[in-house]
Amino acid sequence: MKTPITTLVVSALASLMLLLTGCGGGGSSTKMDTAELEKTFASADASLKGPADEAVKALKGGKYFDGATALANLAKSVDKLNDEQKNAMINVGATIQLIMSEDGDRADLKVYQAVDDMINLLNGEALKQVGTDPDRSKPAPPPAE
Cα–Cα distance measured from residue 126 to residue 138, given in angstroms and rounded to the nearest whole number? 21
pTM above 0.85, yes or no: no
Q: What is the pLDDT of residues 19-72, one digit of tens each?
A: 444 444 455 578 899 999 999 999 999 999 999 999 999 999 999 999 999 999
Q: What's the average model confidence in pLDDT over 96-107? A: 85
85 in Cβ contact with 131 (< 8 Å): no
Looking at residue 136, its pLDDT comes to 52
71 in Cβ contact with 112 (< 8 Å): no
Cα–Cα distance measured from residue 68 to residue 81, given in angstroms and rounded to the nearest whole number? 17
Looking at residue 39, its pLDDT comes to 95
Cα–Cα distance measured from residue 115 to residue 96, given in angstroms and rounded to the nearest whole number? 8
Looking at residue 143, its pLDDT comes to 77
